[in-house]
């Protein structure tokens, strides 16, 4: 089968997106209007998991009074919030909200994060690939979920017995995925929440996508395997957690030699260091939702 290179040239064709996320010590509401201008960016940090009730209260407080039109003036955030509040605990009705408002969004909690991330976000990405979720305790190691062109593989949830064991099991899970999905790209995700956490980088706004050569990425990881903090991306994970994830990725990329391209967000590396090390030219040619707003020392 002919190898292909991932193409995300149409990344700016995403429709307006709202993300409601809780369950990981944060609640975020993010979005942009039809012109790409950021319309809302609130974050609530109670330093613990946010309950559905708190999320509901937050949406009522922050969104219902917000009357700005989005989607070319066809719907208000207020109208969206009203629909969301009608189905906070019912995943299937997300499609109903989309049908009524024309807005794509996801409601993320630890129990439904993979499916809803995909339905509310990744389904727009015209890219067949594998999404590897380095998750917390809510994940089921090795589970493969197929949604559209993407395959989601869950892993690194605490039941691994060392990095070699993790890498072997992740590779085994990937091998069970339809071969079509390995022809384009490997989509790397973060340590705890779904890739939305990295793509939007929490309260920092929409971030850059970059595409890296898989072999160069593997070599960069190997070169810095003893200094893993440069991979933190602002998530404030411990050095041990990041080192384990790094070793798993090294082993994973070594085993999956058919993967040529890695899709990653620039926020996955402090100051874009990983990006610069692996492929500086690709960093300059990045595709973005919005103009980049970062400063030396980390994403902003």
Compute mean pLDDT per 10 residues along the chain, 300 residues long, and list them: 27 28 33 42 38 56 50 46 51 48 41 41 39 44 52 48 56 54 43 31 35 73 69 53 66 66 50 51 40 29
Total of domains in the chain: 1
Say if 3 falls within a structural domain: no
The verdict on residue 65 lying in a domain is: yes
Residue 300 domain-assigned?
A: no
What pLDDT is attached to residue 299? 30
**Residue 133 lies inside a defined structural domain of this protein:** yes
The range of the structural domain enclosing residue 281 comes to 11-288
Q: Is residue 298 part of a domain?
A: no
**What are φ and ψ of residue 254, in 5° steps?**
-65, -35
Instruction: Give the pLDDT score at 223.
Output: 78
pTM of the predicted structure, to 2 decimals: 0.40
In a domain? residue 110: yes
- Exposure string (b/e) for 110-132, b if CB count within 10 Å is 16 or more? bebbbbbbbbbbbeebebbbbbb
Give just the sign of the alpha carbon dihedral 209, 215, 217, 218: positive
Task: Tell me what pLDDT residue 144 has.
Answer: 57
Helices (H), the chain: 52-62, 77-85, 94-101, 113-120, 163-175, 196-199, 214-223, 239-255, 273-284
Asked if residue 5 belongs to a domain, the reply is: no
Residue 151 lies in a domain: yes
């Amino acid at each position: 089968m002919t190898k292909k290179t991932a193409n995300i040239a149409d990344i700016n064709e995403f429709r307006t997106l709202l993300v409601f996320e809780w369950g990981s010590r944060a609640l975020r509401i993010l979005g942009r209007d039809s012109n790409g201008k950021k319309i809302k960016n609130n974050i609530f940090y109670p330093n613990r998991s946010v309950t559905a009730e708190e999320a509901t209260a937050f949406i009522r407080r922050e969104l219902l009074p917000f009357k700005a039109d989005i989607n070319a003036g066809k719907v208000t955030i207020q109208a969206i919030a009203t629909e969301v509040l009608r189905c906070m605990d019912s995943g299937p009705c997300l499609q109903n909200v989309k049908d009524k408002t024309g807005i794509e969004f996801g409601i993320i909690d630890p129990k439904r994060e993979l499916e809803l991330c995909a339905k509310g976000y990744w389904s727009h990405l015209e890219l067949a690939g594998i999404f590897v979720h380095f998750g917390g305790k809510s994940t089921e190691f090795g589970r493969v979920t197929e949604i559209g062109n993407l395959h989601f593989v869950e892993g690194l949830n605490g039941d691994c017995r060392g990095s070699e064991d993790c890498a072997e099991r992740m590779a085994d899970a990937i091998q069970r995925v339809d071969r079509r999905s390995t022809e384009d790209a490997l989509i790397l995700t973060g340590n705890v929440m779904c890739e939305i956490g990295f793509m939007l980088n929490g309260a920092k706004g929409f971030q850059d996508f970059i595409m890296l050569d898989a072999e160069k990425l593997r070599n960069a990881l190997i070169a810095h395997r003893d200094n893993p903090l440069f991979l933190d991306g602002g998530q404030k994970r411990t050095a041990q957690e990041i080192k384990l994830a790094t070793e798993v990725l090294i082993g994973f990329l070594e085993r999956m030699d058919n993967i040529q391209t890695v899709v990653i967000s620039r926020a996955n590396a402090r100051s874009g260091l990983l990006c610069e090390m692996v492929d500086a030219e690709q960093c300059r040619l990045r595709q973005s939702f919005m103009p980049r707003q970062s400063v030396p020392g980390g994403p902003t």
